[in-house]
Structure 1
Amino acid sequence: MGRFLYKRILQLIPTLFVVAVIVFFITRMLPGNPAAVMLGPQASAQDIAEYSERLGLNDPMIVQFFDYLVGLITFDFGNSLSYGQPIVDLIIERFPNTIILAISALILAVLIGVPAGIIAAKKQNTVIDYLVTTFSLVGVSMPIFWLGVMLVLYFSVNLGWLPATGMGSLNNGLWSFISHLILPSIALATIPAAEFARIIRSSMLETISQDYIKTARSKGIREFIVVMKHAFKNALTPLLTVMGLQFSNLLGGAVLTETIFSWPGMGMLIVDAIEKRDFIVVQSAVIFVAVIYVVINLIVDILYKVVNPKVNIGSQSGGEK
């Protein structure tokens, strides 16, 4: 285990370096001069040139890249060009909101997808099974931006049941906070819920057909105990892997959802920074999300071994014995 963790942590370094290089050059390819965007259309060419010089935009690309890497290594992300405050403060302010949305969506996806997958496996080749299979196919194919707009149109505009945008405050009551969370959580949970249902159904069908399940049934053990204690426990391992990956995707893929519902998280921060050509915020926020992504994947690998000690972790990571 210790050797595995050591090797995986070392593998994070080149991965994050590649991400940092890609993000740096992509942000520099954004059209428009950040200085011109921030100063506005009334700024003169001289004002733009002076502000560009002050921001270091006129430095050679290799110099900018070196300063960028030094900042990452020393955890000095610098100050936002448009917000005028340290980027670390912006991330600390916005990231908890994204975590709240991602965890809410993940819980909702588990509550819907896992029972649906178990029921579909138990009712194989029935109408219920076909409905769950159809739900899984539609769910993974559903564009989040379309679903989000439809949810707002129906539940906010037509029915007026739920707020369309923003993030409620607990100072205004628990319902204010929850009501703002419902629609974005549903939109973000659709794909993970469909994926969980598909994975659980497949794993349960494979597990139920095993001899030890037949033996448990022959002993007269209640069907519920057979399914939940024996079959589901052994079908949990692939779900755990997919759950970790889906949670990482929720953190990185919340950009569209947060934009549609004006949820003040990392997604909105990145979108606003792109519109303002604040590439320093964009690259720092993307790097931060990438670090969270790889760390979650590392945690999933560890939990994979804890849940199923028979799994050789080394073989999962390239044949290490």
Structure 2
Amino acid sequence: MTAILRILARRIALLVPLLLGIVLFVFLVMRFSDIDPASAFYQGANPTQEQLHQFREDNGLLDPLPVRYVDFVGDLIGGDMGISVLTRSPVIDQITTALPLTMQLTFLGLGVAVLLSLPLGVLAAIYRDRLPDQIIRVVSLTGVAAPGFWLALLMIQYLAVDLGWFPTGGYVNPADSFTGWLKTMTLPALALSLPVAAQMTRIVRTAVVEELDKDYVRTAVGSGLPPVVVVGRNVLRNALINPLTVLGLRVGYLLGGAVVIETIFSLPGMGKLMIDAVKNGDPAVVQGVVITTAVGFVVVNLVIDILYLLVNPRLRGTS
């Protein structure tokens, strides 16, 4: 346990410069972009040069870049992400409203990917180079090659428009109707998760095949233990350590893919918030969404690291 705490403390300590680097990158990109916060604030009006200058002075836009960065970080630590030039409301309020939906979609997609890839990967490994493995290989390779937005459009056309099984878009709060929420989230979650499930199926298969070829498995089966018991009790526990770390990286794909999927299905999450902010030239919202998404990705990977430490006995024994 002491070794785990030491490793965990080092991982957490590395998060500080990583997060500062992310914030610095977003800050510089937004400051050197073509979007002028003063002009965006007066969008639709005809401000004078004096009004633009006064806005820049009041908001610290004329300060040296290092001073503006320090102020920016200080505001973020205090929970201030700025004011939306479009709605004149705090960015943090808009993100607080949109983030829960994106998290629902991301973790639904993650759950679907795990539920599909784990049994398919194990089945392909057990029947390697036989018919079930060949079928799963073709299906998984097709899933890897199919982009999420293309799957989303196909699902809308055939499952929503032609068959009418699901709505074409929109969102229902689960507090109002759980069935309605499930129907509105099923197609987006599938479109988001199927490419990840296809990738993870190949990774799980490879890990399980490597584990099945080890001597202890042959010894256990030769001693009379049922193969199902050997696979379920020993093989899976050892084989799924590496796929677990890869799964953490796939969370980044899910978070990024949610931007496109939410737009296609008209879901009022972080993706739609980001697209609207880009179209309307709202820099505070853009940088707020990007920073929140990046921090979410970092935090999820920290959780995956903790799970990796807990399930890997060899790493638990290191200093």
Instruction: Give the RMSD, CA atoms, in angstroms.
Output: 2.3
32-41 or 154-163, larger mean C-alpha shift = 32-41
Provide the residue aligned with 2:104 in structure 1.
100
Query: Equivalents in 1 of 2:210, 2:34: separation in Å?
Result: 52
Matched, 1:147 2:174: no
Structure 1 residues 262 and 34: CA distance shift in structure 2, 3 A:
farther
Provide the residue aligned with 1:22 in structure 2.
25
Provide the residue aligned with 1:54 in structure 2.
55
- Cα displacement (A) at 1:34: 4.5
- Cα displacement (A) at 1:138: 2.3
Provide the residue aligned with 1:274 in structure 2.
278
- Cα displacement (A) at 1:61: 5.8
Provide the residue aligned with 1:173 in structure 2.
177
State whether residues 163 and 180 of structure 1, in contact with CA within 8 Å, keep that contact through their aligned partners in structure 2.
yes
What is the CA deviation profile of residues 231-282 of structure 1, one whole-angstrom value per residue up to 9, with x for unaligned ones? 1121111122122222343223311111111111112211211112211121
Structure 1 residues 28 and 154: CA distance shift in structure 2, 3 A:
farther
Give percent identity, aligned residues only.
36
Provide the residue aligned with 1:113 in structure 2.
117
Query: Equivalents in 1 of 2:169, 2:107: separation in Å?
Result: 19
Query: Equivalents in 1 of 2:10, 2:237: separation in Å?
Result: 29
Matched, 1:234 2:235: no
- Cα displacement (A) at 1:166: 1.3
Give the count of matched residue pairs: 313
Report the TM-score when normalising by structure 1. Answer: 0.89
Provide the residue aligned with 1:8 in structure 2.
11
Match of 1:203 among 200, 204, 207: 207
Provide the residue aligned with 2:46 in structure 1.
44
Query: Equivalents in 2 of 1:178, 1:121: separation in Å?
Result: 32
The residue type paired with residue 46 of structure 2 is: S
Query: Equivalents in 1 of 2:53, 2:141: separation in Å?
Result: 50
- Cα displacement (A) at 1:40: 4.4
Query: Equivalents in 2 of 1:123, 1:272: separation in Å?
Result: 48
Q: Secondary structure at the match of 1:295?
A: helix
Query: Equivalents in 1 of 2:214, 2:143: separation in Å?
Result: 30
Provide the residue aligned with 2:291 in structure 1.
287
179-188 or 22-31, larger mean C-alpha shift = 22-31
The residue type paired with residue 54 of structure 1 is: F
Query: Equivalents in 2 of 1:169, 1:306: separation in Å?
Result: 35
State whether residues 136 and 194 of structure 1, in contact with CA within 8 Å, keep that contact through their aligned partners in structure 2.
yes
- Cα displacement (A) at 1:39: 4.4
Provide the residue aligned with 2:76 in structure 1.
72
What is the CA deviation profile of residues 93-118 of structure 1, one whole-angstrom value per residue up to 9, with x for unaligned ones? 11111111111111111111111101
What is the CA deviation profile of residues 47-83 of structure 1, one whole-angstrom value per residue up to 9, with x for unaligned ones? x862574363852461543432221233322222222
Structure 1: tracts of 5 or more residues without a match? 315-320
Query: Equivalents in 1 of 2:14, 2:120: separation in Å?
Result: 37
Structure 1 residues 248 and 215: CA distance shift in structure 2, 3 A:
same
Provide the residue aligned with 1:245 in structure 2.
249
The residue type paired with residue 91 of structure 1 is: I
State whether residues 310 and 316 of structure 2, in contact with CA within 8 Å, keep that contact through their aligned partners in structure 1.
no
